Structure 1
């Protein structure tokens, strides 16, 4: 008995990506439906909808760089299945530097600097060249820069954004790469925002159709200091979001934290972390200090919020993951989890699997 296409689509929209990829081998009808770009977009939209039981996931590279390991955070922290890496990218300079709509942005310095946009679920990937003036790795600076990848819905395009400080000129530079046009462009106004060198590499935080980092503001209309810099996907411009109180960050270690519809910042002093969330985007007075159980340990850094209102933290020394609290309450909920195949440079990014492909004008490799 053959199921009607409409019913088959309804069933498939409820299934995880891994099952759908396996089902492509069942018959031509199933393969055709699952391979349809329209179905891939619909499946992704359903998976990330607030009404869907969306499990916050984290992705990191194994220490032998043979695979990307996926960690689910709900109802408890546990490993999901791993994704195999392409043989050509397996080396110790490989790092995850961004994630968007099921694609992961990788940076590889050997044998020469290159960026890779990779869908772990489907295996498709494309190489993103460094800017022409950066063949010597001057841009982005190997040690200090901001980076990320976003989706521009109006043009069905993916943009890779990078900001650095040129080592010789000490001048900030911000650029974005369009996958559809296969070209880099400079972001106007970037000279007002110097990437926060003390933080080293920063993963961008996606929220409200923009991607965010911490940077030093050099403009004339606001006191010089650390702020949140936002790259607006639609206008391709940079703007500033002031930090919550206290505004003097010299005694604090700062990091952005998001996920599950939250936009927040962690401010860590010598003894204790504090997390502020912004209730109304870009409204400075809407920052509030959240009331929840937090680790009394300055070796912990926040990774993400979960749908259930917890915060997942990572111990920077032993790389253990710990889930704390209930957002908005003092309920004591704590769970510890040890990462496998983890090294000292491990980076974890929020990740959602997808069947999505890159724009048709882009030459993807399988």
Structure 2
């Protein structure tokens, strides 16, 4: 190593595949420190920006608790098909898949698991001992995890929202905990403001991140929907009530509303698709100004030739692509796996096949989750 200038060594290593970089950390302590340092990771990400290629990760869990984590890559320039290139099972896979800077988070038996596909490292976080005390009749209890990044302190953090309630969200209680991904990290309870109002995140809800802030949709009760925002820097929660028209003409909105959050034009937006299957229509509610709580509304109607793509089964939102396309997936997948990509700017919907999923997952009742991540993003941070 002394024979090669450090700057030249970095340039050489940055042009190698991620799997080799993970191996080369074993060469020496000096190499391990170099490949793991922030400068190297940022240089690696910069060099590979021009060769970005989407990568799809899928979590599967059946009713018996068997799970799988599948890695898929695009086989064509237009991303018309994804093929499984790696089966990361066994011992991987779970519920509520998150990705951030190349790290993958999913929930396994009420614990959060962090996985780095570049190095194969896996970290299971300790279970939280909530402060919520169940009242008589409170039987519903669940957790949701959201992963984000503190841009100032350069720290990855995990937010856990714990909810307890009776049927129909009666006697709703919620609390929030934060974990910093660092040596010796532990869960710390978030201190809520006096104006804090308990809420339950959408059951299969997605999230969107802008800077150091994660946003997700939640219910205060069966009729009141809100956008909840958590700043990973200040560790503060804020809430904005969604427009009344989002849940108009619904007797019990929490049971009937089909909507989720996306990023649209750099702003947080509610993608409401309750009438997509029947009328081929979606409504975008864009939060134009968070401080003034100003919204704009845009309605989109599918082209007649594309209506058949949404009429066979119910659809759930699974995030957005780098170029702003909305990813929709069938609520149940049986004879085949696929996703739908909805380009909101051109109002165009197309089907993207997923091939190579192990056959024993076909015709099986299972939970699945999807996340799209740039191939280079998975190489930007090489150590948990």
TM range, smaller chain: 0.7 to 0.9
TM-score by length of 1: 0.73
Point out the structure with the larger strand share.
Answer: 2
Q: Deviations over 1:295-319 (max 9, x none)?
A: 5436122323324443322111226
Give the corresponding residue for 1:204: 207
Cα 1:6/1:98, change in 2 over 3 Å: same
Which of 309, 314, 321 pairs up with 1:299? Answer: 314
- The equivalent of 1:229 in structure 2 is 228
Distance 1:278 1:255 in 2: 12
SS in structure 1 of the partner of residue 152 of structure 2: helix
Partner of 1:153: 151
Are 1:353 and 2:378 an aligned pair? yes
Q: How does 1:1-366 map to 2 (within 5 A)?
A: 5-10=6-11, 12-13=13-14, 17-18=18-19, 20-21=21-22, 33-44=34-45, 52-62=50-60, 65=67, 67-72=69-74, 75-76=78-79, 77-79=81-83, 81-82=85-86, 84-85=88-89, 89=91, 94-109=94-109, 113-133=110-130, 144-167=142-165, 170-180=172-182, 181-189=185-193, 191-196=196-201, 199-217=202-220, 225-243=224-242, 246-248=245-247, 250=253, 251-258=256-263, 263-270=268-275, 271=278, 272-276=280-284, 278=286, 280=288, 282=290, 284-289=293-298, 291=300, 293=302, 296-297=310-311, 299-318=314-333, 320-331=337-348, 333-337=350-354, 340-341=357-358, 342=361, 344-351=366-373, 352-354=377-379, 356-357=381-382
Query: Is the CA contact (8 Å cut-off) linking 1:107 and 1:114 kept in structure 2?
Result: yes
CA-to-aligned-CA distance 1:1-30 (integer Å, 9 cap, x gap)? x87543553455456534644676899997
Query: Which residues of structure 1 form unaligned runs of 5+?
Result: 219-223, 359-363
**Unaligned regions of 5+ residues in structure 2, if any?**
none
Measure, in 1, the Cα distance between the counterparts of 2:228 and 2:28.
49
Structure 1 residues 156 and 332: CA distance shift in structure 2, 3 A: closer
Q: Label 1:124 to 1:194 Cα distance change in 2 as closer, same or farther (>3 A).
A: same
1:292–1:325 CA contact under 8 A, matched in 2: no
Name the residue aligned to 1:221: none
SS in 1 for 2:367: coil
Task: Please state whether the residue corresponding to 1:314 is helix, strand or coil.
Answer: strand
TM-score of the pair, normalised by structure 2: 0.71
- In structure 2, C-alpha distance between the alignment counterparts of 1:80 and 1:3, rounded to whole Å: 38
